[in-house]
Amino acid sequence: MTSTLMRIDPGRIRDLHDTLLDRHGPQRWWPGHSAFEVLAGAILVQRTRWENAARALEELDREGLLLPGRLAACPPGNVESLIRPAGFYRQKAARLRAAAAWWQGEGGLGRMAQMSTGDLRERLLGLDGIGPETADCILLYAFDRPLFIADAYARRLFARLGWIEPGGRGTYERLARAVNGTVHEGARFFNELHALIVTHGKSVCSDTPRCDGCPLRPRCPAGELHS
């Protein structure tokens, strides 16, 4: 067992949350939307700016397709043309339709709300186009399950803070397990934390893992989070 750097503890995570909240304010991601729309958005936003995914969602909503039954029954070509602004539209259209059919097969929101987080996560991972990060986003934002989203922004920030090794192995699952295993907060906390980390990540330079010599911002504000 190699001693890999992993300085994760509840105090640090809460401090990070408070610091980012103070700096950026409440983010309120995915408020007032249906659980299924959250799932659709989670697929559409993959490797895509949220603004473009949101356009696709609006198009789908305009056609009344943000309902599992309607979406599953919609011809693939129609879905493709509607979500084009989100990119990867052929893949995403197929995945959306498959997810919609799956949603119905699971018996809807009421049925899935009864399932354990682990069970639900396994089923989500069984779907085409839903990996660890997308599954956790759906679990957190659609099903209110308390999970840390160890996405690229979180890993980059943690690396800059010296909490993890830059470019470590088992990137997503490794950090996710480390945080979920030691930080016991509610879904509300993780919801805001993830949104804050992403917002913060976009507000600073994207040079990774450190900012020395960054052409955009020589001194990345992320370093200030120590204090």
Partner DNA sequence: ACCCAGGGTCATA
Partner DNA sequence: TATGACCATGGG
Please report how close the Cβ of residue 200 comes to DNA at its closest, in angstroms.
11
SS3 164: strand
Nearest-angstrom CA–CA distance, 50 and 29: 11
Does position 187 interact with DNA (CB under 7 A)? The reply is no
How far apart, in whole angstroms, are the C-alpha atoms of residue 186 and residue 158?
A: 21
Residue 189 touches DNA, criterion: CB under 7 A: no
CA distance 142 to 198: 18
Query: What ranges in 63-218 are assigned the alpha helix state H?
Result: 68-73, 76-82, 89-105, 108-113, 117-125, 132-141, 152-160, 171-182, 187-203
Locate 202 and state its tokens.
């976009």
DSSP-derived 3-state class of residue 202: helix
Site for DNA contains 34 (CB under 7 A): no
- Under rule CB under 7 A, which residues in 81-100 are in contact with DNA? 84-85, 87-92
| Cis amide linkage into residue 209, ω under 30° from 0 | yes
Residue 36 interacts with DNA (CB under 7 A)? Answer: no
Binding residues among 108-147 for DNA as defined by CB under 7 A: 127-135, 137, 141
State the minimum distance, in angstroms, from the CB of residue 129 to DNA: 5
Q: Find the part of the chain contacting DNA (CB under 7 A) among 4-12, 58-66, 103-111, 148-156.
A: 148-156
Q: Report, in Å, the least distance between residue 227 CB and DNA.
A: 26
Among 5-13, 68-76, 149-157, 219-227, the segment contacting DNA (CB under 7 A): 149-157
Of the candidates 142, 151, 160, 196, which one interacts with DNA according to CB under 7 A? Answer: 151
Q: How far apart are CA 2 and CA 24, in angstroms?
A: 37
Determine, following the binding rule CB under 7 A, whether residue 60 of this chain makes contact with DNA. Answer: no
- Which amino acid makes up residue 133? E
Interface contacts to DNA, rule CB under 7 A = 29-30, 41-42, 45-52, 84-85, 87-92, 127-135, 137, 141, 151-153, 169-170, 172, 195, 198, 202, 206
